[in-house]
Amino acid sequence: MITGFALVCVNVLDMDEARAFYVDTLGFQVAYDEVQDGFHWFVVHPPEHPEVPLMLVVPGPPVVDGELAEQIRTLVATGYMGPGAFATQDCWATYRELKAKGVEFIEEPTERFYGIDAAFRDPFGNHWRLTQAKQVAPPT
């Protein structure tokens, strides 16, 4: 039985810029920042959820080489490789906070059937959602 996520990987194009965005701007905490066997393990997590690690990876050796790495970098830059959504308890407040820090939003918060949702890009083009889930009454 699967009980949760052990690790979510997101391709980025520059590790220093990734650190600045995900740690300094979004407020994630660093879990690992190690290079082993030529691979940079850079893992961050939301401050209140260390059980949801996000590994930031620059496409290249030793995992992928040459043309494939370039294809991945191109897809990241287009926003096509959008990894998913971040949760927030107040979408409008988080939107204003991140926008003031220079985060590029491509959609303002909007009421949807599942809650309030906005969209932004990281510095590399990755398309992220920012979601405040609608409170659902427990089944009776």
- One-letter amino acid identity for 13? L
Strands 104-112 and 115-121: antiparallel
Which one is the CATH code of 8-133: 3.40.50.150, 3.90.930.12, 3.10.180.10, 1.10.150.20? 3.10.180.10
Residue 5's pLDDT band (boundaries 50, 70, 90)? confident
Domain regions of the chain by residue span? 8-133
Residue 4's pLDDT band (boundaries 50, 70, 90)? confident
Buried b (16+ CB within 10 A) or exposed e, 108-131: ebeeeeebbbbbbbbbbbbbbbbb
As a dihedral over the C-alpha atoms of residue 30, residue 33, residue 39, residue 45, rounded to 10 degrees, the angle is -10
Q: Distance between CA 104 and CA 125 in Å, rounded?
A: 10
pLDDT digits (tens, 9 = 90+) for 103-124: 999 999 999 999 999 999 999 9
Asked if 88 contacts 134 with a C-beta cutoff of 8 angstroms, the reply is no
Average pLDDT over residues 47-73: 91
